[in-house]
Amino acid sequence: MQVIIEFLQSLNPLWVSGLLLISCFIFIICMNLVFGEAGLYCYIVLAILASNIAVLKGTQFDFFPEPIALGTVFFSSIFLATDILSELYGYKSSQKAVFLGFSALLIWLVFTYFVIGYAPLTQEQAVNTPFFLESHIHITAIFSVIPLFFISSIIAFLISQSCDIGLFLMLKKLTAGRFLWLRNNVSTLISALIDSAVFSILAFIVFASEPLPFRTVLLSYVFGTYIVRVAIALLDTPFIYIAKAFHRRPLNKKNTEQTFAPGPYDIPNQDTRT
């Protein structure tokens, strides 16, 4: 494991982000292919948790003067997952994913506080297991800031994902189910900007005990991460076509009704291949 970490750290951060992004897209396709709707729910929950931990670490990219907080790739990949849910399973399924993500983050918050809440070992108690002392320090450092990020993240998540789903399905209806690339990119680009702005301003200015300068937040956290999200939005387009191409269609009308629950923007039982 240490060899892998050292290898990744030796690479340009842009290459690491590229490898991570491709991995996320492949995982999304595989989870949908093997587990269907439930697999995408599972991926979304994991990506939300990973992004809320990764955002505590920053790195320097060559194309941007300020350090950029990580977590962007994990969270941005969620837009692909919810767009696939909207396209293949309908409005109700994509909305369910948003509320599942919210619930998972809330439960995670409770769990982590119980973990921190256990009294750490003393030097005498940990004489044979000294790594427990070091682990407690690291775990506390990571998880103790989660309430700050939880509030900011969940507000941004609910707003941006609801916007993404609504825009995606509205464009699907307006274009009669054509131009999948258009609704995928437009909905993601607009929603990603909303998410970056809402989360960054809340987390690092409004709710922060030591607010960062607005310029730093704007450059490092809003525009800095949004540049990455624009690239991700453009790169994820082929994968939504792959997901649609490999989607196992229902065998009969009864199964169709079970797998596609139409919402206010949905176009059920329509073959759209553009």
**pLDDT category, 170, cuts 50, 70, 90?**
very high
With a cut of 60, say whether residue 252 has pLDDT above it. no
Average pLDDT of the segment spanning 106-112:
87
Question: Helix (H, G, I), strand (E, B), or coil: what is residue 59?
Answer: strand
| pLDDT higher than threshold 60 for residue 18 | yes
What is the arithmetic mean of pLDDT over 240-268? 62
CA pair distance 129, 151, nearest whole angstrom:
35
CB 203 within 8 A of CB 255: no
pLDDT band at 59 (very low <50, low <70, confident <90, very high): confident
Alpha carbon of residue 57 to chain centroid:
16
Q: What is the DSSP string of 108-145?
A: HHHHHHHHHHSPPPPTTTTSS-THHHHHHHHHHHHHTT
Among 44-53, 113-122, 142-151, the least confident range = 142-151
- Poorest-confidence range of 99-108, 178-187, 261-270? 261-270
Angle at 229 between CA 190 and CA 170, to 5 degrees: 30
Three-state SS at 12: coil
Listed in sequence order, the residues at least 6 apart from 167 whose beta carbon sits closer than 8 Å to its beta carbon are 183, 186, 187, 190, 191
Percent of the chain with pLDDT over 70: 86
Alpha helices by DSSP H, the chain? 2-10, 13-35, 37-54, 72-88, 91-117, 131-143, 146-174, 180-201, 214-216, 224-235, 237-245, 253-259
- The answer to whether 103 touches 79, Cβ cutoff 8 Å, is no
Return mean pLDDT, the chain. Answer: 83
Provide the token pair at 105. 């983050």
Distances (CA, A) of 5 to 39, 137, 139: 28, 21, 19
State residue 146's pLDDT score. 60
Residue 251 has pLDDT above 50, yes or no: no
CA 13 to chain centre: 19
CA angle 59, 62, 67 (to 5 degrees): 30
Closest CA to 270 of 178, 181, 186, 185: 178
Q: In this predicted structure, what is the pLDDT of residue 250?
A: 45
Hey, which residues does 69 pair with through a beta bridge? 58
The answer on pLDDT for 193 being more than 80 is: yes
Cα angle value 90/179/249 (rounded, 5°): 40
121 confidence band (pLDDT: 50, 70, 90)? confident
Letter string b/e over residues 39-56, b meaning 16 or more CB atoms within 10 A of that residue's CB: bbbbbbbbbbbbbbbbbe
Give the DSSP H or E segment for 69: strand 68-69
Structure tokens at 25: 């897209």
- Structure confidence at residue 145 as a pLDDT band (50, 70, 90): low
> Which helix (H) or strand (E) element contains residue 56?
none
Report whether pLDDT(274) > 70: no
The residue-averaged pLDDT of 235-264 equals: 67
pLDDT of residue 260: 53
pTM for the model stands at: 0.80
